[in-house]
Amino acid sequence: MNKKLAEARPFLKWAGGKRQLLGDLAKRIPPQIVKKGVIETYIEPFVGGGAFFFYLKNNFEIKKSVLLDINNDLILTYLVIQKYSKKLISKLKELESYYLKLDQTKQEEYFYIKRAEFNEMIANFNFKKYHPQWIERATLVIFLNKTCFNGLFRQNSKGLFNVPFGMYKNPTICDEENIKTTANALKNTEIVCGDFDKTIKYVSKATFIYLDPPYRPIIKTSFTKYSRDGFNDDDQRRLGQYFRDMSKKKAFIMLSNSDPKSGDINDNFFDDLYKEFQINRVLSKRSINSKASPRGKISEIIVTNYTC
């Protein structure tokens, strides 16, 4: 184990995060990798909060990693932590010090001021070329995530953050130690914003790919849009083709998703889509949902193109 990075963990609470599923994912790491303790190239095209990436980084030697997500603000925050962590920590400390001195009414007012500021920035913001505004925006991403309702990062079709105030008494806005260890964990990592097919060029034999797309809804009202772009059944089918194509390259591939049979025993969507691969059903606790009832343990699937 890399002791220096042992405490690295997600710096954001992210809808669909994999901390609850880590044990089941860990049991299904390719045996060849477990035996050697080394991952030559690791690719995660839907990185989100990065729980599985950080777990692997803490327990294996990863020579090269590629992290990708469609959400501009998420990727920007990863890049800022990777390259400008000291500046980010300084800004977060300043903001946290001010915020925690306010009473709850003033905290709520301040939250909405910062949310409006965050949304107003989007009109002329350049996500492709570094500017000092990157530090400001990454600071706001973390602040809003730590102080909004349920830690749910949600944007509407215009890319505007629209989650209400969360009423936490003493939220940790600046987790300095974790930002430092996360910055270390992100060394030798390429961080990219875009669709999952952008990772194809990085894949070769024995590359380890973990796919954690927006889950297919079990019920029609389920929330799946964490950015302005959704992920529908056609996208799931595209991902299924990607899975097959990368399997032909002899990469090791693991995918997690909802189990349609939890809602309809006759729904064979994923059983058909991944019929030539290993499909395992596991129980996982859902932690973010608009209703209380679906928060208990529910079946999910883990698909691999190898036996484990």
CATH number of the domain within which 107 lies: 1.10.1020.10
* One domain, residues 108 and 248: no
Per-residue confidence (pLDDT) for residue 293, from 0 to 100: 45
* One domain, residues 65 and 199: yes
* One domain, residues 198 and 159: no
Residue 284 sits at φ, ψ, to 5 deg, of: -140, 150
Query: At residue 97, does pLDDT exceed 50?
Result: yes
Kindly state whether residue 124 falls inside one of the protein's structural domains: yes
Number of structural domains in the chain: 2
Per-residue confidence (pLDDT) for residue 230, from 0 to 100: 75
Q: Please compute the mean of the pLDDT values over residues 73-80 and round it to a whole number.
A: 98
Domain with residue 277: its CATH number is: 3.40.50.150
Is the pTM higher than 0.75?
A: yes
Domain extent for 289: 3-70+194-304
* One domain, residues 61 and 207: yes
Per-residue confidence (pLDDT) for residue 11, from 0 to 100: 95
Final residue of a domain: which of 143, 177, 211?
177
* One domain, residues 90 and 132: yes
* One domain, residues 34 and 124: no
Final residue of a domain: which of 177, 211, 244?
177
Q: What is the mean pLDDT of the chain?
A: 91
pLDDT band at 287 (very low <50, low <70, confident <90, very high): very low
Query: At residue 294, does pLDDT exceed 70?
Result: no
* One domain, residues 299 and 225: yes
Out of 91-95, 166-170, 222-226, least confident range: 222-226
Out of 55-59, 170-174, 221-225, 297-301, least confident range: 221-225
Of 291 and 51, the one with more pLDDT: 51
* One domain, residues 139 and 283: no
